[in-house]
Structure 1
Amino acid sequence: MSENARTPLADRVDPIRDWSVRRTYLAGDFRAEDLVAAKAGRRVSVVLPARNEESTVGVIVAALRSELVERVPLIDELVVIDSHSADGTADVARAAGARVVAQGDVLPALGDVPGKGEALWKSLAATDGDVVAFLDSDLRDFDPAFATGLLGPLLTEPGVVFCKGAYERPLDDGRTVLPAGGGRVTELVARPLLAIHWPALAGFVQPLAGEYAGTRQALESIPFAGAYGVDIGILVDLFESFGLDALAQVDLG
């Protein structure tokens, strides 16, 4: 008889549940003012990869700049990586207060391929923060607490090198918008895939989320998929390099 079979059910440890309890946070757990003190000399970069997002990117940049650059000096660099936009994304982002970097201008000798992954890995060469947070530039109803939530565990919890956003996704069926039920690719493909091949990652609510942050040291140690598999690829590669306890998630609401 195995040791586990002799252990009462109530005493058995579920490693995924144990991780989820210890490494899942709420965005509201962290105040920007407290995180400024917790930086302890570290620099923070916030990056928005953007392609044809002129309708949303300006609002996000303006909110971040107002709250977390000017009111509270948490963000040291606020950068939009423009991935060959054909609209006014770059102009809108620049007017709102971001430094705009054209994806194709970063390390041009290494090429320039389409896809979010290219914008993300090149952003590491275009920034110098010790901690780097990535936020999608098409978010609506944006709250600067998204940034403070993602940065919180990295700045306050020793050993955490990566933090992934989690949230409920509304479902728009064309007739009405329901408060939950969206994210069918996540529920039907991504999470079952992880459960089979990387079961330790089953506790991540939104493995495909584009909102996450990491230490530069960790992010520079892994490859970035060139296309749109980058979000889940980063999660898997960091897990294999640093282990589950170095990863966290934060409930952004």
Structure 2
Amino acid sequence: MISVIIPAINEEKTIGSVVTIAKANPRVTEVIVVDDKSFDNTVSEAKLAGATVITSTKIGKGASMRDGLLVSSQEIVVYLDADLGKLNADAINILTEPLVNEQADFVKARFSREAGRVTELVARPLLSLLFPDLSQFAQPLGGIIAGRRTFLQKVSFEDDYGVDIALLIDMHLLGARIIEVEIGEIVHNMKPWHQLTRMSKEVSRAILARAMKLSRTSLDDLETISVIRDYMDDAIRDTIRQLRKMAVFDMDNTLLQGRFIELAAKSFGFHKDLIDIVTRNQDSYLITKHIAKLLKDKNIADLLSVADAIPLVDDAAHVTKVLKERGYVVGIITDSYDCIANHIKIKIGADFVMANELEFSQSIVTGEVKVPSYFCRSDTSRCNHNFCKSNALLHATVAHNIDLRSVVAVGDSENDICMVRIAGIGVSLCSSNEALKSIADYRIDEPRLAQLLDFAN
């Protein structure tokens, strides 16, 4: 009788409970999770809970919603968010009752939560100006909805943050009977701060595009819209300035235009040994231990001379300075050695380093290395690796009392994937790793960091 569709990306912690609630409803005949190429265990958790899982044809919530509609079979369709940490067990009945009783064609959920900035500063003012009949809705940008297939098949699913407001307007323009129902309190992840400006632009674009098709806008309206968006941008910037923020960088091939251990291998003549260690071992801990032995009997001056021979990304110091002026704590998280990372930290003016600790005696490398516990997997880890930079990042955010959503993480390789994925803003820099590029929020394809300043406000 009812199809439930759940667009999802990297929601392994909540997707199972959302699917379970949907499956428990006797009216629900199918639960379809449309996975947006998640990098975590979202797919396995959804399948374990009993959902049918398909992969979205295109990155973006709107595409996932459209794909789910195409493969679903029932006349009544419910869309749920995948990140719901708390949802009323009766929510699906509340959403669909007006449809079952022929009282509505499209139903939006109203729930107990303070309206977000984009709703208050962009959506509501624009709806009041251009679509006043819709300004009554408490959560016009909410994604928890239900509708008749016959109506949903006639609307356009935007591929960005404008999808939910666009559906509301399109349903209104189709003459659908629209009501809003109270489903109680929900708990879900708030949008990261860096996405608010983009969200406001995409929401306003969706509203304006539909108004212009109806010739509902004048030059005065456009001027008002511009003022609204400028106000939103200013409000976001003011909020961001008050946040505690962090920027973390990988070192090799990110801050440095090369890898320390590779140049050391060539300089000290152990390149073949290095290749043997990497190819013969799968365990990153063992690789780290074995490579350290290759540096035995080298002194600190030998190592720093190798580091100095690798050029820095030429604007690293400047970008670090600007980030710190904007209130960022700047750090280096690397699986290289602390003596090298601290040397680079001083060069660029960073605040902290998290790295493997190479052991010295009388300034000579002993061949031993300590892997700090902050790299190790714990109960708070966000991945399944025993040793991972993402664990170090979590440790750093706790130590500096900074929300993970207020972190920018930059890396280039497979070892950076988890760190980049869990940060509020994940950036791939000159990466050849397709997995890293696919999960990063931004890609920089030249060895310069200046582009960071465009979105790290």
User: What's the CA shift for 1:186?
Assistant: 1.0
Question: In structure 2, what is the Cα distance between the partners aligned to 1:98 and 1:123?
Answer: 12
Question: In structure 1, what is the Cα distance between the partners aligned to 2:160 and 2:27?
Answer: 30
Counterpart check, 1:99 vs 2:52: yes
Aligned to 1:58: 16
- TM-score w.r.t. structure 1 length? 0.70
Aligned to 2:149: 216
Aligned to 1:235: 168
CA change 1:182–1:197 in 2 (3 A) is closer
Question: In structure 2, what is the Cα distance between the partners aligned to 1:231 and 1:64?
Answer: 21
Match of 1:120 among 65, 86, 90: 65
Counterpart check, 1:249 vs 2:180: yes
Deviation sequence 1:78-118 (CA, Å, 0-9, x none): 111111111110000000111111113xxxxxxx3x21000
Amino acid at match of 1:53: E
Amino acid at match of 1:234: L
- TM-score w.r.t. structure 2 length? 0.39
Runs (4+) off by over 3 Å: none
Question: In structure 2, what is the Cα distance between the partners aligned to 1:46 and 1:64?
Answer: 7
CA-based RMSD: 1.2
Amino acid at match of 1:250: V
Aligned to 1:134: 79
Counterpart check, 1:161 vs 2:92: no
Question: In structure 1, what is the Cα distance between the partners aligned to 2:95 and 2:156?
Answer: 21
Question: In structure 2, what is the Cα distance between the partners aligned to 1:122 and 1:240?
Answer: 23
Aligned to 2:42: 89
SS at match of 1:236: helix
Counterpart check, 1:207 vs 2:140: yes
Question: In structure 2, what is the Cα distance between the partners aligned to 1:142 and 1:91?
Answer: 21
Amino acid at match of 2:157: F
SS at match of 2:28: coil
Identity %, equivalent residues: 39
User: What's the CA shift for 1:157?
Assistant: 3.0
SS at match of 1:125: helix
Amino acid at match of 1:52: N
Counterpart check, 1:195 vs 2:128: yes
User: What's the CA shift for 1:182?
Assistant: 4.4
Structure 1: gaps (5+ residues): 1-42, 105-111, 170-180
User: What's the CA shift for 1:163?
Assistant: 0.1
Bigger drift between 183-192 and 231-240 goes to 183-192
Structure 2: gaps (5+ residues): 185-457
**Aligned 8 A contact 2:33 2:46 in 1:** yes
Amino acid at match of 2:109: G
Deviation sequence 1:128-152 (CA, Å, 0-9, x none): 1101000001011122222111111
SS at match of 2:92: helix
**Aligned 8 A contact 2:5 2:69 in 1:** no
Give the paired residue count.
184
SS at match of 1:194: helix
Amino acid at match of 1:168: S
SS at match of 1:129: coil
SS at match of 1:133: strand
* Correspondence list, 1:44-83, <5 A: 44-65=2-23, 67-68=24-25, 73-83=26-36
**Which structure has the bigger radius of gyration?**
2
Aligned to 2:266: none
